[in-house]
Amino acid sequence: MFRISKIQVDMGTESTGKALLKLAIPSVLSMFFHTLFHLIDTIFVSWLGEISLAAMSLSFPLLFVIFAVVNGMAVGTTTCATRELGANNTAKAQTFANAALLLILGLSLLPIPLLTPDLSNKFYFILGGKGAVLPECYAYSSWMILGAPLMGLALLGESLFRSQGDTFTPMMSMLIGNLLNILLDPILIFGLKWGIAGASIATFIGRIVSLAYLAYKLKKEARLRPTLRFDKSFPKYWKDISIVGFPVALSQTSMAIGAALMNKILSLFGPAAISAWMLGNRIEMFAFLPVFGLNSGLIPFLSYNIGKGNFQKVKEAVMLASKAAVVLMLSIGLLLFSFPQVFLLPFSPTPQMASMAIDSVRASATGYIFAAIDITLWGLFQGSGYAYFGMISQLARTLLFRAPLGYLMGIYFGIKILWWCQPISALGSLLLSLLFAKKVLNLIQGNINSKA
pLDDT band of residue 5 (cuts 50, 70, 90) is very low
pTM over 0.85: no
The confidence score (pLDDT) of residue 11 equals 64
Average pLDDT over residues 406-428: 93
At 258 the pLDDT is 83
Please compute the mean of the pLDDT values over residues 220-243 and round it to a whole number: 89
Domain containing 88 equals 2-451
Q: Which pLDDT score, from 0 to 100, does residue 238 have?
A: 95
Q: Does the pLDDT at position 210 exceed 80? A: yes
| Average pLDDT of the residues in 141-162 | 91
Is residue 231 predicted with pLDDT exceeding 50?
Answer: yes
Checking if the pLDDT of 335 tops 90, the result is: yes
Residue 1: what pLDDT? 34
Per-residue pLDDT band for 3 (boundaries 50, 70, 90) equals very low
**How many structural domains are present in the chain?**
1
pLDDT tens column, 90-107: 899 999 999 999 999 999
Q: Is the pLDDT of residue 369 over 70?
A: yes
Whether 4 has a pLDDT exceeding 50, the answer reads no
* pLDDT tops 50 at residue 88: yes
Write the secondary structure of the chain as one string of H (helix), E (strand) and C (coil). CEEECCEEECCCCCCHHHHHHHHHHHHHHHHHHHHHHHHHHHHHHHCCCHHHHHHHHHHHHHHHHHHHHHHHHHHHHHHHHHHHHHCCCHHHHHHHHHHHHHHHHHHHCCCHHHHCHHHHHHHHHHCCCCCCHHHHHHHHHHHHHHCHHHHHHHHHHHHHHHHCCCCHHHHHHHHHHHHHHHHHHHHHHHHCCCCHHHHHHHHHHHHHHHHHHHHHHHHHHCCCCCCCCCCCCHHHHHHHHHHHHHHHHHHHHHHHHHHHHHHHHHHHHCHHHHHHHHHHHHHHHHHCHHHHHHHHHHHHHHHHHHHHCCHHHHHHHHHHHHHHHHHHHHHHHHHHHHCHHHHHHHHCCCHHHHHHHHHHHHHHHCCHHHHHHHHHHHHHHHHHCCHHHHHHHHHHHHHHHHHHHHHHHHHHHCHHHHCCHHHHHHHHHHHHHHHHHHHHHHHHHHHHHHHC
